[in-house]
Structure 1
Amino acid sequence: MLLATSVRSNYVFDEDPFQPVTQDETVAVGGVVTLTCSVKENDNSSLQWSNTAQQTLYFGEKRALRDNRIQLVKSTATELIITIADVQLSDDGEYTCSIFTMPVRTARATVTVLGVPGKPVITGFEDAVQEGGKVTLTCTSSGSKPPAKLHWYRDEEELPGRPDVVESNPDEPTYTVTSELTLTVTRNDNNALIACAVDHPSIANGDKKTEQPLSVLFSPSVSIQPESDLPREGEKFYLQCVGNGNPEPTTFVWQRKEGGLPPLAKEDGAFLRFESLNKSDNGVYECQADNGIGVGDVSHTLLVQEAGVNAADPTAMSTSSGVDHAVIGGVVAVIVFIMLCLLIVLGRYLIRHKGTYLTHEAKGSDDAPDADTAIINAEGGHSGVDDKKEYFI
């Protein structure tokens, strides 16, 4: 974007109607500047524009200098307007508008030409940086007038850099501006966009900006992804070791904490493959991934399901377990019922035989004339009783 602005001159119409009035102008290199000179009244005298070297550009409608960049826009008795295209730094300076009255009256307009800064160049990205290390980046922009200002960004976040260093360019009135940025990088900075942007009145914000991704080397973080969440006996199965690092890990080592790998388990780089799962494959498996910067490891517990369990129906195991419990409960109920029946029969048997025992104990007491005789007869002292039988169950 080429910028051109104008500022009203200190000259104003006063009591002298023949005094010319001009405006100061600001334009970027390559732009077009318009010079306007006007008077309130004219006595048939011509208006004239002259450049910084006091060379006449236009006298009324007549071009005086052979420069095709300079064109007439308007020429009347009270106004003279010209343009200068493809403005260069050499066009910077004071231009004079004159009217040849008696005496000659003049007014000056200052043309400020802005040097457009070049697109910034970032250096210091030649080599990748290891996590925890420092990197110093340098941003440079040349050709600005006045000196440009530089700003650093990481993605959308502005970063504080060192104060700009300004140097004059030889053989032209422009400047080279340099800024430095020092960062201590982490793995989160990998592929982050580091940008340097130029701030200058000759361009719109963001027009001159350079971005470059930052490369950070870091050891891998590792995870294990199983082929299925419900591995079953007899099926083929694999565990995949996924490593996220810079560079990507290329070496993988598998092991089982309980001992060596099962006979039917085969290492295949990032994969551990099982040809036919078995309950003996249960255990904690560990994967180590190496990318040359460091080693990352992670473990995974493998639990093989029985072949009869339907992996598609997560309620199958609980349903089977419920059926088993129902069968066991029925058997227990039958056993308890049988035991109760036996206890009832046994109780009735004991009660009947105990009555018989009591009857034999009291025999002989019914015909006794007194208590002593009854006791003697009951204890077997009666002469008519040869023996006494007792029954115990």
Structure 2
Amino acid sequence: MCQLWNLTNICLYITGLIYRLDLLLAISEKVHRRVDTNGERELGSVFTKVDIYPRLDDSRAVYTCEAQHPALKAPLRASLIMSVLYPPGEPEIHGQPETQLQSGDTLTLACLSRGGNPPARLDWFRNDIPVRSRYRQGTHEATATHSVILADRDDGAVFRCDASNTVTQQPLSTAITIHVRVTVQPDTSRRSTKEKEEDG
């Protein structure tokens, strides 16, 4: 609610552009009149209410109530920044290998989630076990990067990224399965037996 004392001609700014209330939004306006303490003059107060139904693109929008009056050299203004809470976008996994992975290779996976207010919290899991990652927050997206040196046991491992914030009831998830070429160790037992037979 915008309350103005002894002023008329109210208009509203949205993100720097002037909009008259009667052209843009539904309003209810009440004018209260009272007499000052000395009883010499009548004072008027104007109350203007604006009902706003926020959308995603209203987040961080600047709303300004402006009062104009012939006795003022410049309009009087009061502003606020609207914060609209909404869930983050589905997480995306980048960095999936295009070639066959081998034991000893370094795999780096990046999880990206766009949007969200507040920004997404991103968590990495390997076979449902939490793993460490580097988190970075941009203007319109969040990224978490996980790096691992692969071993034979990572063949068939599932890497999952969860995105969540205070609005989401359940995390949004994306997962990939990686395949590592298992290193085949040479069979030295037969060779050792054969060498012993030849020596004997």
Pairwise TM-score range, normalised by the shorter structure: 0.5 to 0.7
The equivalent position to 1:209 in structure 2, one of 148, 173, 180, is 173
Count of aligned positions: 167
| Alignment partners' CA distance in 1, 2:82 and 2:172 | 24
**Cα distance in structure 1, aligned partners of 2:160 and 2:92:** 10
How many angstroms does 1:194 deviate by? Answer: 0.7
* CA displacement, residues 65-112 of structure 1 (integer Å, 9 cap, x when unaligned): 5xxxxx42x4131341232554427x7443211345555654222224
CA gap 1:108/1:176 in 2 versus in 1, 3 angstroms: closer
| % identity of equivalent residues | 21
Residue in structure 1 matching 2:156, options 174, 184, 191: 191
Paired position in structure 2 for 1:110: 81
The RMSD of aligned alpha carbons is: 4.1
Higher strand share: 2
Partner of 2:123: 151
Q: Structure 1: how far apart are the matches of 2:82 and 2:89?
A: 22
Amino acid at match of 1:111: M
The separation in 2 between residues aligned to 1:178 and 1:87, in whole angstroms, is 21
2:57 equivalent among 75, 80, 88: 88
Cα contact 1:125–1:137 (8 A) shared by 2: no
TM-score by length of 1: 0.34
Q: Classify the secondary structure of the residue corresponding to 1:55.
A: strand
Deviation at residue 210 of structure 1 after TM alignment: 1.6
CA distance in 1, matches of 2:108, 2:133: 10
Which residue of 2 is the match for residue 75 of structure 1?
28
Conservation of the 8 A alpha-carbon contact between 2:87 and 2:164: no
Name 1:262's counterpart in structure 2: none
Q: What whole-Å deviation, never above 9, does each CA across 1:199-226 have from its counterpart, x for those lacking one?
A: 556x52754432112323437xxxxxxx
Under a length normalisation based on structure 2, what TM-score does the superposition of the two structures give?
0.58
| C-alpha contact (below 8 Å) 1:51/1:57 kept by paired residues | no
C-alpha deviations, 1:255-282, integer Å up to 9, x for none?
Answer: xxxxxxxxxxxxxxxxxxxxxxxxxxxx
TM-aligned CA distance change 1:118 to 1:179, over 3 Å: same
Look up the match of 1:98.
Answer: 66
Match for 1:76: what amino acid?
A: E
Deviations 1:232-266 (A, max 9, x none): xxxxxxxxxxxxxxxxxxxxxxxxxxxxxxxxxxx
TM-fit CA distance, 1:147: 6.4
Which residue identity does 2:19 align to in structure 1? T
Aligned counterparts of 2:132 and 2:63: Cα–Cα separation in 1: 42
Q: How far has the Cα of 1:131 moved from its partner? A: 4.6
What CA distance in whole angstroms lies between the structure 2 residues aligned with 1:56 and 1:87? Answer: 20
Q: Contact 2:107–2:149 (CA<8 Å) still a contact in 1?
A: yes
State the structure with bigger RCO (CA 8 A, min sep 6), 1 or 2: 2
User: 3-state SS of the aligned residue for 1:83?
Assistant: coil
Gap change, CA 1:116 and 1:125, over 3 Å in 2: farther
Show structure 2 runs of 5+ residues with no match: 31-46, 188-200
> How far 1:52 sits from its partner (Å)?
2.6
Secondary structure of the corresponding residue to residue 212 of structure 1: strand
